[in-house]
Amino acid sequence: MRWYNGHFVLLAILNYVIKITMRVCSIIGYKGESLAAPLLVTCLQKMEYRGYDSVGIATIADGKVSVKKGVGRVEDVNSSLLLGRLPGRIGIGHTRWATHGKVTEKNAHPHTSCNGEIAVVHNGIIQNYSELKSGLLMKGHIFKSETDSEVIAHLLEEDYVHTGDLRVAMRNTSKKLAGAFSFIAAFSDGTIAGARYDEPLILGISNDGYYISSDVVGFLNYTDRAIFLDNRDIVILQGSEMEMINFDGAPVLRPTTQVAWEFGGIDKGTYAHFTIKEINEQVETITKSGRGQEKSIKQVSEVLKSAPFVYFTGSGTSYHCALVAKNLLTKYGKRKSDAIMSSEFQYLVNDIEPDSVIVAISQSGETADVLEVVKKAKPLGTKIISIVNVPTSSLARLSDVSVHMNCGAEIGVAATKSFTSQLTLLYAIIDEMSGGLIGLEEQRYKLQNAVRELIEGQSMIEHIVDEIKDVKDIYVLGRSIHYPIALEGALKIKELSYVHAEGIPAGELKHGPLALIDRNSCILVLNPNDSTFEDVNANAHEIKARGASLIGVGNSPSDVYDQFITIPEVDEILYPLLEVIPFQLIAYYLALVKNANPDYPRNLAKSVTVK
């Protein structure tokens, strides 16, 4: 990517995209003139949106490594253990999302070596940890946790004790690890070192020292100068010097990037939660999406015009965008295409048509399954187009062309404004490709007013939620381009409220799902005035005959529905941009009545950086 070497980059928060088997941790290191512990606590709080279950920090002072860690949120653990009072001007911190080992204090990071002179924090999964751990146990190492991450501390100790060379220890340990990882190690002599492979690691350079982090937002309160490490890079902060080498020991040089941040997007302001703030922000973000990206949009449209076959791919919410994009490309671009979820696509990449184009969609640009597809496809000569919210992300840098969503910070784990921004960007690309057949630009102002009207009708949504708050199963029906919105609507409900919800293609109702429908069912039906209207209306009557509760979403209220959410009139092809918003609001208010935190759903993380 040509723009990566530029000096001014508008950076938006990693998303989340994006809810499959997951683990996403935040790691941070500091070495400088300030007290490390309070800085590390603040940095970890800035990265809370990523999702986690435990927290800990380690600092170095007078040749001693001190560690405190516990289960819970940063604020609570800091309050009980006084993390911020640890001594020293050097330290590392971590928030963990559990995979290997239960959510316990002993499994929280940092992990230490047997001699207690090395502490490690880690993001990713070490696939060969069992083999490595067995070898270390045979050499007399004693493990205190059930995690895969702890092997890194013991490997470093083993290599450092035997070679006496910290650089060699970092290189040897990094090369022994299989899987995707980034880690930071703090040594009792005051050295901090970090390494990465397929997980992000960023160096921040401030006037009073250095930061190393998995996420640039972790240190942006203190510096806007960053170095984005590449795969197989190692950074070593020893004394007052900073050195970068690769796993083979050769010196490397990476450019310093000045990152600008939309700080205003991080504050909840007068809103109770980030999620409702971000739902409301769609009044602006739908109109902003793609603005300033006209050159990239035109470039992408030209690539798609000449492509013999186009694959859209993404995970979770981004996959639903891919399904809409496939519909649009068929209708307006007259191109053969498919939409495949990334977790499945990685097994098919070697068999795709020659000279194909992959459009990879990921809010964070760090989604592991999406990156896996791209890394397998690139050596085959496949062109990669990405749609991301983070222009410095791994996916953006791997792409031939990357288009920035420009929706700003999204803190809530469940994607809201990022979904509609992705979707708007895909509309813009296919509109450009088709010579303006969609007419998106002419309708942006009308769209904005329609979104505002929907959001101003939140009191009606609250009333509907009060009616369905005790429902155990919710089904969302849609046909054609509305089916992906049914999937997205159901995803939002299950993510935020923990109520079982399922998106169903309305035309398949008689082929199985109708067996589930009875008087205890709640059905939401997408039924706007377009070519699907009559068929979906017939489905609604079939459901009503079974006694189920029916909520319609569309333009034409009908007696068949017990409740009806009216969507403002726009060109029918643009309805997906509007009809998803009531589902976001239903999910939010349903979470509230069930006393669930809509910003941080249980078991989910914002950025899914491992498979």
Kindly state the tokens that stand for 333: 């671009």
Task: Name the residue among 258, 259, 227, 231 with its Cα closest to residue 243.
Answer: 227
Radius of gyration over alpha carbons of the chain, in Å?
25
* Residues constituting the chain: 611
CB of 588 closer than 8 Å to CB of 494: no
Question: What CA–CA distance (Å, rounded) separates 359 from 15?
Answer: 18
Q: Which residues pair with 284 in a beta bridge?
A: none
Q: Hey, CA dihedral for 277, 283, 284, 287, is it positive or negative?
A: positive
Question: What CA–CA distance (Å, rounded) separates 362 from 59?
Answer: 35
| Distance set, CA 335 to CA 2, 52, 128, 201, 360 (Å) | 28, 42, 43, 38, 17
Q: In what order do the strands lie in the sheet with 64-71?
A: 8-11, 256-261, 225-228, 202-206, 209-213, 26-32, 90-96, 54-61, 64-71
Q: What is the DSSP letter of 251?
A: B
25: annotated active-site residue: yes
Four-point Cα dihedral 129, 135, 136, 138, nearest 10: 140
Task: Name the residue among 395, 453, 444 with its Cα closest to residue 420.
Answer: 444
Kindly state the tokens that stand for 22: 């997951």
Question: What CA–CA distance (Å, rounded) separates 482 from 602?
Answer: 28
Question: What CA–CA distance (Å, rounded) separates 235 from 203?
Answer: 8
Active-site option among 46, 68, 606, 611: 606
CB of 461 closer than 8 Å to CB of 359: no
407: annotated active-site residue: no
Active-site option among 19, 25, 46, 133: 25
Kindly state the tokens that stand for 599: 């910003």
Kindly state the tokens that stand for 197: 């492979």
Active-site residue set:
25, 606
